[in-house]
């Protein structure tokens, strides 16, 4: 098998097995975290796995629609991260980010 044949076979394996498997693992992990009562962490975890799967797909087929989907996932994830960060109270004992030290 020459280098091009190997590359084509590797691309086929990534496209057929790795991407759907990664999406399935991400959905499972996100569901477990959500069922434990931490929906925001589950949502972030699900978006991370979805982005990883999209980037794997992008590595095998770089088209503008695939790039647009990856960019949309990144924007959504950053928006969710900002909303989650605003809604979470500061950790106990640190007095908040702007607290004066005694």
Number of domains in the chain: 1
pLDDT value at 14 more than 80 = no
Q: Is residue 99 part of a domain?
A: no
Q: Is residue 97 part of a domain?
A: no
Q: Between 7 and 1, name the one with better pLDDT.
A: 7
Provide the domain limits for residue 75.
3-87
Question: CA-CA distance, 27 to 47, in Å (whole number)?
Answer: 9
Q: Is residue 98 part of a domain?
A: no
Report the range of poorest mean pLDDT among 2-11, 19-28, 69-78. Answer: 2-11
Q: Is residue 40 part of a domain?
A: yes
- Tokens found for residue 45: 């975890």
pLDDT digit string, tens, across residues 44-86: 888 888 888 878 778 777 788 888 888 888 898 888 888 877 7
Its pTM stands at: 0.60
Q: Is residue 101 part of a domain?
A: no
């Amino acid at each position: 098998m020459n280098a091009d044949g190997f590359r084509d076979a590797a691309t086929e394996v990534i496209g057929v097995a790795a991407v759907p498997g990664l999406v399935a693992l991400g959905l499972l992990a996100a569901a477990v975290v959500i069922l434990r009562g931490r929906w925001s962490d589950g949502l972030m975890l699900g978006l991370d796995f979805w982005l990883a799967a999209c980037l794997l797909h992008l590595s095998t087929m770089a088209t503008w629609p695939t790039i647009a989907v990856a960019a949309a996932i990144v924007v959504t994830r950053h928006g969710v991260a900002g909303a989650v960060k605003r809604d979470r109270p500061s950790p106990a004992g640190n007095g908040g980010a702007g607290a004066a030290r005694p």
